[in-house]
Amino acid sequence: MSVRRVRTEHAREPQKAAAAAAAGASAVPPGLNSPRGGSLRERHYSNAAEFHNGGRQRRFSAAIVARRESLFGGAGGSSGAGTPMDAAIRRPSLAAVAERGSWGSRWEFLLSCVGLSVGIGNVWRFPYLAYQNGGGAFLIPYLIMMALAGKPMYFLELAMGQFGGVGPLAMWNCCPIAKGVGCAMVTVSLVVCIYYNVIMSYTVYYMVASFAKEVPWAKCDPAWANMTTCYTRTAGSDGANGTNVTTAGKETASLQYWERHVLHLSDGIENLGPVKGDLAACLLFSWCIVVLCLVKGIKTSGKVVYFAATFPYVILFTLLVTGLCQEGAWNGVRYFIMPTWNKLLDIQVWQAAAGQMFFSLSVSMGGLIMYSSYNDFRNNVYRDALVVSVMDTLTSIISGTVTFSILGAMAHDLNVPIQEVVKEGPGLAFVAYPEALLRLPMPQVWAILFFLMLFVLGLDSEFALLENVLTSISDEFTVLRSHKLMFCIGTALVCYVIGLSCVTYGGNYVLTLMDVYGGGIAVLFIAIVECCSLVWIYGLRRLCSDLEFMLGYKPGFYWRITWGFFAPVILTVIFVYSLVDYKPLRYEQYDYPDWADVLGWMLALASMIQIPFWAVVQTMRQKGPTFKEKIIQALVPNDDWGPSDLSLTAEYRASQKDSPASLALNSVVHHNGK
């Protein structure tokens, strides 16, 4: 069907709708007590009054039915696209929307978003990056990047998810050619979901070990330690006199406990070795908790977040007060916040700030779209986006203050430079922190609370990652909604089996590979295409018009300029710089073999390649005699795009009918279709 014919058919829909509504009025028998919802062909009414009072919605539904039949085939229509698969992925009816569920309250949504954005990385990654990249000076590029790219992208994803009321797969009905972006998001969520739970299993292991009379990393144990190189860092002990422990060939008890006992770390990814039984059990426990919390989707996870999103703050503030009371704590805080102004001229500092900001907010992974899709259509998502982005930044700063107050006290006790007690990534959470906790009163209690906090922080993020996969697939294949429990268990079981590769003797090398490639490089590429597709193809004017319909006001100049220019430019610069500055993967002193880097790039491409692949597929599915017209059709929103509530969709179509903003792209389509 040509573009001009599509537009002509659209203009005739009101007449078709009236005829269909008149025909349907005599066909609907009164007294049927079926559930409300569905299109005109599906919905039944309890009495004649209800039927006649729904006139406007019925007329619109009839128009949509006629439109779908003309495009996809139906009774007497073309059967070319009317396959069971096509039927399975069409827009949900009102009954399906009700079946999909919604948040019990606004607080459930807000706390879930806080839990997703505030994760383990806020505790172990942000403090180290801030220290490494100029301390207080690092906060300047971090806040600038947050304002120009992080906050705008966060608001954009929440707004689009709430507007469409669907997950990251079905959301791309707004721009069919970018369907692969949603598929890539789900793929990345699945990859991150697998290895993130492994990190949570580490916290379970440490938490259980902390119930001992004495925490096991407090001293060197011949059962796991190399007694010739292991030592305990206490005042007056070997290695506590300021000498370089690496040069001296010595390792702390906490480091050897982590590498030799918890991980049983092999010499490289080439030597994975057997699965470590105790870690496999902790991983199974972690997956069981996740499944139990998601057994009814957001209906259960929404209740859990009241504890999961608030408990970490209780522990953080308790540790903050306790840490600042330790002698030497303020020296550590000074290291954290003291600006090194010349660092502002280093592009790597800006790249590190942008990367941390971006991944901390968890944008372009689909979780935000999925969470906001369960919102009420008129929810003030603008306010929620501001609250969560500010909370994420404040939490990172508080975590940094807590971390360096404790590490400063530790450095003071040992009489060593603070650089010697600072570790990056997992080394901070599972080596430096456990050792620092030994210097607090009742270290067992503090260790239990600390690792419980890490587990809960991870649990919040894991909810979103797994639920994003489940919701997205269920939105496409709605039959899975009636088998939610089995679908959730089956997905978790597959993830658990794959995750066992991360709890082998060489599993930490696998985890690092998945983190860098599967959850790092790929997400940046997805974000660039996502932003450009929504702002430059769907259209900034149409996007603002949609948000005005939903929120009651148009986004201001700040949002328009950041969406249209700063966010895509900044993301592109980060991505290009990451490629130019690319170095083969390295884990401490270990260099990954070339085949491992190739495997990592294949993992990254597994998600990125879906964007061009589905662009071609969606283009070929369009109606049109020429490939050019198919491309043009793939740039225009599907008829299924709009608010999930059909009554709101009717109002939306009416409000957009004569809007120049909403028809801007269609004008281009019409011009090219001549």
- Residues making up the annotated binding site for Na(+) are 115, 118, 122, 360, 457, 460-461
Where is 250: in which H helix or E strand? none
- φ, ψ dihedrals at 504, nearest 5°: -85, 180
> Please, are residues 567 and 531 in contact by the beta-carbon 8 Å criterion?
yes
Six-digit token pair at 528?
């660039």
Give the Å distances, CA to CA, from 166 to 43, 197, 473, 548, 574. 21, 26, 11, 19, 30
Handedness of CA 233, 237, 241, 247 (dihedral sign): negative
> Please, are residues 248 and 276 in contact by the beta-carbon 8 Å criterion?
no
- Find, among 50, 36, 41, 47, the residue nearest to 94 by Cα: 36
Give the Å distances, CA to CA, from 92 to 10, 73, 98, 169, 441. 21, 18, 10, 13, 57
> Please, are residues 439 and 258 in contact by the beta-carbon 8 Å criterion?
no
3-state helix, strand, coil in the chain (%, to 5): 70, 0, 30
The Cα 357–Cα 151 span in angstroms is 9
Handedness of CA 85, 91, 94, 96 (dihedral sign): positive
> Please, are residues 251 and 229 in contact by the beta-carbon 8 Å criterion?
yes
Where is 465: in which H helix or E strand? helix 443-476
Residue list for the binding site? 115, 118, 122, 360, 457, 460-461
Enumerate residues 6+ apart whose C-beta is below 8 A from 502. Answer: 194, 195, 198, 508, 510, 511, 514
Q: Which long-range contacts (CB under 8 A, 24 or more apart) does 215-218 make?
A: 215/434, 215/437, 215/438, 215/443, 215/444, 215/447, 216/257, 216/261, 217/253, 217/254, 217/257, 217/258, 217/434, 217/435, 217/438, 218/253, 218/438, 218/443
- Find, among 340, 319, 341, the residue nearest to 329 by Cα: 319
- Find, among 463, 590, 471, 482, the residue nearest to 197 by Cα: 463
The Cα 80–Cα 621 span in angstroms is 10
The Cα 61–Cα 51 span in angstroms is 13
Beta strands 586-587 and 590-591 are antiparallel
At 231 the three-state DSSP class reads: strand
Six-digit token pair at 647?
């009554």
